[in-house]
């Protein structure tokens, strides 16, 4: 059986951990729109700014054909496009910024980890594990930044007043449209505290 792990690295997890106790100021992105979707999402706090961004990678062609897999990255600061272009930096303050839960403290952080398994004629061929969302427990609610698909770079922002009300849609993927006799895909997800990962 092939096992593929596409999860956040320790440096990314530490960047997130640095936001604990910080006060959220705003959320912005290069193409962030009213649907709260973008290829990048920046979280500005009173302590630091971090940017979550997605990209598509072949991950070594482990399925035997050219696949695309969404990889989540977390960097310090804002994307290079803002610092390189003052016009875009100005736009970030206007139409690309959202102030939901501004002033709320980030109390805790968790990761949503998804597992997809391919079984062919009852035998497991591969298992794919990926981090699909970052969830912030805020003093006034919950915020999630999640992949919209396991095979695309787009990220989505979801808010709720409580954990019980938070819904993170399962990330779609081409596997779940596969229609081949004897092939089945199983999927599961878990919420993991950042404390358990670093």
Give the 3-state secondary structure of residue 103: coil
Backbone angles phi, psi at 56, to 5 degrees: -105, 135
How far is the C-alpha of 186 from the C-alpha of 198, rounded, in Å?
Answer: 28
pLDDT value, residue 179: 67
Q: Is 33 exposed, middle or buried (0-12, 13-18, 19+ CB in 10 A)?
A: exposed
Backbone CA torsion sign across 189, 191, 195, 198? positive
How far is the C-alpha of 183 from the C-alpha of 198, rounded, in Å?
Answer: 36
How far is the C-alpha of 110 from the C-alpha of 30, rounded, in Å?
Answer: 25
How far is the C-alpha of 37 from the C-alpha of 34, rounded, in Å?
Answer: 8
Q: Answer yes or no: are the C-beta atoms of 15 and 74 closer than 8 Å.
A: yes
Between the ranges 39-48, 146-155, 159-168, where is the mean pLDDT highest?
39-48
Write down the mean pLDDT value for the chain.
86
Better-predicted residue by pLDDT, 68 or 42:
42
């Amino acid at each position: 059986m092939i096992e593929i792990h596409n999860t956040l690295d320790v440096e990314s997890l530490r960047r997130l951990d640095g936001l604990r106790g910080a006060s959220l100021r705003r959320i912005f992105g290069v193409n962030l729109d009213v649907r709260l979707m973008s290829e990048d999402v920046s979280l500005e706090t009173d302590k630091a700014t971090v940017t979550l961004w997605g990209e598509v990678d072949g991950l070594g062609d482990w399925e035997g054909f050219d696949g695309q897999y969404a990889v989540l990255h977390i960097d310090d600061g804002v994307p290079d496009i803002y610092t390189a272009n003052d016009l875009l930096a100005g736009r970030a303050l206007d139409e690309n910024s959202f102030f939901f839960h501004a002033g709320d403290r980030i109390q805790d952080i968790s990761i949503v980890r998804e597992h997809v398994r391919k079984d062919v004629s009852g035998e497991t061929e591969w298992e794919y594990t990926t981090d699909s969302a970052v969830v912030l427990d805020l003093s006034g609610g919950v915020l999630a930044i999640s992949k919209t698909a396991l095979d695309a770079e787009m990220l989505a922002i979801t808010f709720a007043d409580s954990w019980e009300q938070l819904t993170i849609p399962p990330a779609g993927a081409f596997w779940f449209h596969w229609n081949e006799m004897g092939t089945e895909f199983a999927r599961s997800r878990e919420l993991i505290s950042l404390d358990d990962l670093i």
